[in-house]
Structure 1
Amino acid sequence: MLFLVVMVSFHLVKQSDTCSSLPQLSLDGDYIVGGLFQLHEKYGGTGPATDTENRKPEVLQCHRFKFSSASYQQIQVMRFAIEEINNSTLLLPGVSLGYEIFDYCSDLLSYGAALEFLTQKGRGAIPVWNGTNYRPKVISVTGPFGSSQTISVAPLYMSEMIPMVTHGATSVQLSSKNRFPSFFRTIPSDKYQVESIVRILQQFNWNWVAFIGGDNDYSRDALTVFQDKIRPANICLAYQDTIPQNQSLIGRLFNNIAMFNVQVIVVFANVEFVIPFIQKAIDLSVKEKIWIASETWSMNQELIKKSQIERIGTVLGVTVQRHKDLRGFDEFINNTVKSRHENACTDMDLKERCGQICSDCNSTSAQTIIGEDPTYSFVIYSAVYAVAHALHNVLRCGTGNCANSEIIAYPYMVSELHLL
């Protein structure tokens, strides 16, 4: 075990020493907020990176997958919130927040980024635990978005009580404080979303339905809750299935839906599963269905713009309650686009190992970023502010200057005392 820890530490030091990150993905500060966002998604890409069945064994990298402008917008919301806090004279006066943001495209490819947040502040290595406290690189972690990704990576941070404040992980599993003592979220549990969907079905007397999900905890946990809720509501689950990752097999689901004569389809899945599923429905000329959308895709801009999507029927969806637009965000984006520059890491071999490579980040227009679905903007903004207020209390800033405080804040202080 000691050998493994030392090897991990060495790898992280070498990576951080040899590959500079995009300036818009890192900022130094007195306390660092970590960010895990899915900048690149597996669905919709091209080439060997997305051919999971036939490709030759090789090391895959996030930047070979499809770029997500929606996730890029969410990163900008996090940056915007931190800049706003740093400019405030009331919240954390005299203390600067920084950030370190990594692309979390999959558990396998992104564990190095997750481990980076555990490195000891100022030393760049994960120490062997000796019974004493150490200051990890980050004071908290925002993200990742998905429930399965969060459940997978959370144990790394729970052991040190590093607060994870997520904006999208809605699985009911994450409500267990025994398993996830320093996990928090600014979005409701799926329990409430499923209850809303069942009420929609009851309202329109739709009692013969299909439930389609993805192969992850988000969908599986929702199905369990859904089955519990429909029994007393006299709703029959006529058909249930999982969207296969092999897109050539998706047509089988529609054959089964037709065979069971189902007109109402609840699609409770992440957008990377839903987009090829809905595209197949369009290709097969599936018509006059009622689609109930979960919050992950109900307002997705890529789906709304798809050609002939209006032919598949009527789509009703559940979404996160939107708040007013973030004042000053559009101006922040315009300034970001004007001032950004290319990644300093130019060696192609090093770029393959760099956890923050994003060539599309430098070419995405301000209009594209601003025009993305803002559903998760406020919950990301709230996640950052929740950590900032907790840190403000830990440092006993009051209305004075935090810089005069002799207190050194550790992540467990933020979790145990002020985010509960």
Structure 2
Amino acid sequence: MEIFALFIGLILSLGLYELNSALALHASGDGLKQRAGLTEDRTGVGVSDEGSSVECKLQGATRLPAFSMDGDYVVGGVFSIHHYTYTVTNNYTTMPDPIRCSGSINSRELRFSRAIIFAIEEINNSTKLLPGIRLGYQIYDSCASVPVAVHVAFQLSSGMDPVFHAGEKCSQSGKVMAVVGESGSTPSISMSRIISSFNIPLVSHFATCACLSDKQQYPSFFRTIPSDQFQAAALAKLVKHFGWTWIGAIRSDSDYGNSGMASFLKAAQKEGICLEYSESFYRTNPRSKIQRVTDIIRRSKAVVIVAFMSAGDLRILLEELSLKPSPPRQWIGSESWVTDPELLRFSFCAGAIGFGIERALIPGLRDFLLDLPPSKVSASPVLTEFWEEQFNCRLDKSVSDKNICNGTEDIGRIQSPYSTTQFRITNMVYKAVYAIAHAIHNAVCQETHSITQCDKLTSVEIKEVLNQLKKVKFSQNGYDVSFDANGDPVATYELINWQKTESGSIELVTVGHYNASLPEGQEIHINRILTWVEGGTQVPVSVCSDSCPAGTRKVLQKGKPICCYDCALCPEGEISNATDSSDCFLCPKEFWPNAKRNICLPKPVEFLSFNEGLGIILCAFSVGGACLAVLTAAVFHRHRTSPIVRANNSELSFLLLFSLTLCFLCSLTFIGAPSDWSCMLRHTAFGITFVLCMSCVLGKTIVVLMAFKATLPGGNVMKWFGPPQQRMTVVSFTFIQVVICTLWLVLSPPFPMKNLTTYKEKIILECALGSTFGFWAVLGYIGLLAVFCFVLAVLARKLPDNFNEAKLITFSMLIFCAVWVTFIPAYISSPGKFTVAVEIFAILASSFGLMLCIFAPKCFIILFQPEKNTKKYLMNKT
């Protein structure tokens, strides 16, 4: 819209200009038609019918070229040789004066214009390219002004002769075949919209706006420099390469800056880069606006600044920044300014990096640029002005000025962008001229029998030159030149670093390359050490928030960009193994995070081991209990004929001691890593040995009751419960438990398993019950026998014997029942390996209870009170 409005304004201005001219001529009574007898057609060209020929005259004032030369075919050129134009206030009462240039000469742009002359002279001297044909040139100064560029575009489209003749109608003589220029994108857009209507190709050496790749709007536009679309992506990758995520951005308020920055921001967003600010201005803006931009730069926290600007705009900004000390900033530049030697005087920009067009070697060009004898300089107003600016002297000796040039001045001895040895953009100009020459060559020349013949009298349609330009593909001085469907070349750049020399000056150093055609992630190649802001050797840090280490995740700060965040520790069971991770992820099922939560480690496997303290203690009690039972059996066997042993059914006592030994030892099967066999053995061995034990206790209790009944007159009960019946009772009760255990093992046996739910951070190896019903059936059967024994023992506890074993059995069964009643809730609530420890404790506690309550008093009498170990004492009634 801005360009369209500018274009409309220009047309209106030209219309007012023509209207004022016509009114002035009419008012004076000496109009064009009255003086020359001219009629005017719809094209705005004056036509005279006098004589046999028709005279045509262009309306309006003609701008004179800065450099020109006649030729068979003419190449146009438009460059911003001057920086500014004079500001003119129109009063709309008189015809406005033509726009005039002001300011100093832009040495770089002057070099570009001279490069066109060099290339055309080189082509004219060639025997291979356009042999026998002489190219001419018309090179104009646009004064860095869009209106002037548009005016020149109209003039190049119409022809350069102010008055010319034709036969039946006015034909345009000397019209250019193609135009090289402009350096800026905005004037190139304006020019392309005009000259594309006439199918005139515009080949730019420096207009990089991605919008110009649109062939619908700019069908005749080509360029030898890559589009900003590639440069924007390259800059975003460069910023990402050095880890900068918090940057500032400034741009020229022009098509070049706005379009380029839009492409950069899009690419930067994909790379996760955030902007603290994005500001724009143009060189003609009031100083207050430029000061506001500099204030934002000074106050910002972003160390890195990406400047997508033209060299002229950035120069004004840097001049304003230099007036007041500013915090050190790392400048990242586009190719429009990062290789501009005129900006190297701003020492606080040392360390700047950016992409520039690759340096080129153009044989003979520097000698041509330095070949400026006084005669050549005096013949050109532009060269005269440039010479006088460079040496601060006057060439015109007629002017009364003491500072007259003495003829010893040498342009090669001064530091000037004009005389640089690094040809970057100049090579783009050089290639543009050669591309146009090849297109004309292909349009007017034919090759027969390896001989090229060109007919300069051939009437060439400009559209044919346009079509041939689309197809050109050649190599010049080792540099390939071709255009894709959008009129763009292959994108390659040099990575430029502003490095300070020992003398304190700044020089441009190539430190790497960028090639857009390489695979993702390999486009940037750095082959030299870079220096950074303030001469530092370490990459500066420019982030909103410090990187989150592994083991944490980023938590965005409310209301701020995604680059501003806090670091939160990963939740329990989750890790992040990379810096700046946005999420944590769960460890695999059998793994658990380390303390830093940055790696997953195998969970420690836990089970009741023989090597740990608790396992050793339980082993000691288990073995100790078994030894105690064996020792007791030895004592009983040693005194087996004594009354106290014989009175307590020695056969059941020995069987009971054997079962207690097994009970103590079966607890050992619960210790150690569970396996298929240990899981099945521990539960079945425990169930069977305890039933054997309970059967023996039950048998002894029944024997006590039967013995008491047998002492009554006429009692003959013992014959019904003699030794064979006692053995059968023990075997029967035990067999039932064997059947229960067998069914359990066959249908759903216990098996080893990894318990991952009790503890999140470790694995518990334990034996799953298989069938829960089988487990509780085994325990229930043991409990049933224990209760039965306890009831019988209670009934016999007050029998009138001096040594009544029923009392001992009562106490033992009371302890046994108490232990296993408390075992159930403890077993259910105990976690991990403590479940096994509780079960072992219950086995040992109940076994020791039986052992101590039943056998300890007897052993005490046998060993320490032998006087009580008599039949008389035992038979005494209390």
Q: How does 1:242-391 map to 2 (within 5 A)?
A: 242-244=280-282, 245-304=285-344, 306=345, 309-312=346-349, 314-324=351-361, 326-342=362-378, 359-361=384-386, 363=388, 366-367=411-412, 368=416, 369-371=418-420, 374-391=423-440
Give 1:98's aligned residue: 136
Q: Does 1:168 align with 2:217?
A: no
Question: Is 1:6 aligned to residue 55 of structure 2?
Answer: no
Aligned length: 388
Contact 2:247–2:302 under 8 Å retained in 1: yes
CA distance in 2, matches of 1:98, 1:286: 50
CA-to-aligned-CA distance 1:102-141 (integer Å, 9 cap, x gap) = 10121223433222212247675799xx9x9966610100
Query: Are the equivalent residues in 2 in contact too, given 1:5–1:126 (CA < 8 A)?
Result: no
Query: What is the one-letter code of the residue matched to 2:356?
Result: T
Change (3 A) 1:126 1:141: farther
RMSD of aligned residue pairs (Cα, Å): 3.0
What residue number does 1:200 align with? 238
Residue type at the aligned position of 1:330: R
Q: Tell whether the 8 Å contact from 1:333 to 1:366 is kept in structure 2 after alignment.
A: no
In 2 relative to 1, CA 261–33 (structure 1 residues): closer, same or farther, beyond 3 Å? same
Tell me which residue corresponds to 2:466.
415
Which secondary structure state, in structure 2, belongs to the residue aligned with residue 231 of structure 1?
helix
2:398 corresponds in structure 1 to none
In the TM superposition, what is the alpha-carbon distance from 1:338 to its structure 2 partner? 4.7
The residue aligned with 2:222 is: 184
Query: Shift in Å at residue 62 of structure 1?
Result: 3.9
In the TM superposition, what is the alpha-carbon distance from 1:154 to its structure 2 partner?
0.9
Could you report, residue by residue, the CA deviation over 1:329-360 in whole angstroms, capped at 9, with x for unpaired residues? 1222233445414358xxxxxxxxxxx86641
Alignment match, 1:348: none
User: Which structure has the larger Rg?
Assistant: 2
Task: State the TM-score, normalizing by the size of structure 2.
Answer: 0.41
Amino acid aligned to 1:27: M
C-alpha deviation, 1:14, in angstroms: 5.8
Q: Deviations over 1:70-105 (max 9, x none)?
A: 111111111000000000011100000000011012
Is it true that 1:71 corresponds to 2:113 in the alignment?
A: no
Partners of 2:339 and 2:440 in 1: how far apart?
A: 34
Give a deviation string over 1:342-393, Cα, whole Å, max 9, x none: 358xxxxxxxxxxx86641454563243227632111110000001111111
Higher relative contact order (CA 8 A, sep 6+): 1
* Structure 1 residues 412 and 282: alpha-carbon distance in aligned structure 2, compared to 1, 3 A threshold: same
Residue 307 of structure 2 contacts residue 333 of structure 2 at CA under 8 Å; is this kept in 1? Answer: yes
Which residue of 2 is the match for residue 349 of structure 1?
none
Q: Deviations over 1:206-232 (max 9, x none)?
A: 111111011100000012111211122
> Any idea what the Cα deviations from partners look like across 1:133-172, whole Å, max 9, x if unmatched?
9666101000011100000111211111111111011111
Equivalents in 2 of 1:197, 1:94: separation in Å?
A: 46
Distance 1:107 1:381 in 2: 24
The code of the aligned residue for 1:145 comes to S
Q: CA deviation at 1:288?
A: 1.6
Measured in 2, the distance between the counterparts of 1:230 and 1:339 equals 53
Maintained 8 Å contact 1:397/1:405: no
Determine helix, strand or coil for the equivalent of 1:41.
strand
Aligned partners of 2:200 and 2:463 also within 8 Å: yes
1:56 & 1:373 partners in 2: Cα distance?
43
Letter in structure 1 aligned against 2:465: V
AA paired with 2:215? K
Alignment of 1:227-238 (within 5 A): 227-238=265-276
* Alpha carbons of structure 1 residues 235 and 284: separation in structure 2 relative to 1, 3 Å: same
Match of 2:71 among 29, 53, 71: 29
User: Matched residues in 2 for 1:107 and 1:121: separation?
Assistant: 20
> Which ranges in structure 1 are unaligned for 5 or more consecutive residues?
345-355
- Pair 75,312 (structure 1): closer, same or farther in 2 beyond 3 Å: closer
Contact (CA 8 Å) 2:124, 2:133: kept in 1 or not?
yes
Measure the CA separation in 1 of the matches of 2:265 and 2:165. Answer: 43
Query: How far does residue 203 in structure 1 lie from its aligned partner after superposition?
Result: 1.1
Distance 1:97 1:271 in 2: 32
| CA deviation vs aligned residue, 1:389-410 (integer Å, no higher than 9, x gap) | 1111111243545444663222
Change (3 A) 1:159 1:192: same
Gaps of 5+ in 2: 1-14, 16-40, 47-55, 391-409, 472-878
More deviation in 77-86 or 282-291? 282-291
Percent same amino acid at aligned positions?
28
Q: Find 1:41's aligned residue among 83, 87, 95.
A: 83
**Shift in CA distance, 312/357, structure 1 to aligned 2, threshold 3 Å:** closer
Match of 1:217 in 2: 255
**Mean CA deviation greater in 254-263 or 275-284:** 254-263
Alpha-carbon spacing, 1:283–1:103, altered in 2? closer, same or farther (3 Å): same
Look up the SS of the partner of 2:138 in the other structure: strand
CA contact (8 A) 1:386 1:419 kept: no
Matched-pair contact (CA < 8 Å) for 2:333–2:355: yes
For 2:341 and 2:456, locate their aligned partners in 1 and report how far apart those are by CA, in whole Å: 46
Counterpart in 1 of 2:441? 392
> Paired residue for 1:84?
122
